[in-house]
Amino acid sequence: MSSPATCPELSRKVYEALFKPLRVSRHQFKKVLNCMKLVRSLKYQEVYAQEKVTKVDSLSLVLSGKLVVSQNQRALHIVFPHQFLDSPEWFGVSTDDYFQVSIMAMEESRVLIWHRDKLKLSIMAEPFLQAVFDHILGRDVVKKLMQVTQVSETIASNGFLPTGGFEDEEKPMLLLKKGNEGHGLTALINRQLQEEHAPLLGRPRLKQPPLVSIPASAMHRAPSNLKTSAC
């Protein structure tokens, strides 16, 4: 097992992507770094969190890959690099509570995990850092809500998933042709994951509508045997 604190390149990327733009000094970032627990590697289709089974005891940032968040076997949204898996749970949810969603890797992914309580205790004495985390995580929650709302509204109005606008132009959303079968994003993700016998989300497989296009430049109980990776 390798601590993120011993991975200079990983730490630098996280600092420059999230904290440096908010004028967090490297000295202040060390406090954040000391609360990091591990980097977990997820295989394709591996479950990170299971609805009503996995406890909310960490704060997790996607480093690479992408994961799908679902509830009652219905997909809600997709989490991309430099987005958090559990930002909604940061606000008003204790470590004794359980995830109300499931999170699964859509491809090989790496996730940076913080000790949630240790991090909260550490920044409690630093009002500036507390404000920084509230800002970063609050913005992350808003993006998730916007994605869920926009996907639902767009499918309801014209049957297509939007091509972007949730994060940036380099991370496109797929397009889904309108049809009477499937459940919007759930159907799309089942199609994308291409499970051979049955979809990973929702009910037994139905014939899916064809994908129209995939723009090249535009587009939530973890197992006990966690797989971790070094830099």
Quote the pLDDT of residue 190. 59
CB 39 within 8 A of CB 112: yes
- pLDDT band per the 50, 70, 90 thresholds, residue 60: very high
Quote the pLDDT of residue 158. 55
Residue of 5 and 71 predicted with greater confidence: 71
0.85 exceeded by pTM:
no
All domains in the chain, ordered by first residue: 4-149 (2.60.120.10)
Q: CA-to-CA distance for 209 and 25, rounded, in angstroms? A: 50
Exposed (0-12), middle (13-18) or buried (19+): which is 8, by Cβ within 10 Å? exposed
Q: CA-to-CA distance for 199 and 87, rounded, in angstroms? A: 27
Other CB atoms within a 10 A radius of the CB of residue 206 amount to: 15
Residue of 220 and 6 predicted with greater confidence: 6
The string of pLDDT tens digits covering residues 134-188 is: 999 999 999 888 877 766 665 556 554 444 444 443 343 333 333 433 355 566 5
Give the angle subtended at the CA of 198 by the CAs of 194 and 199, to the nearest 5°: 60
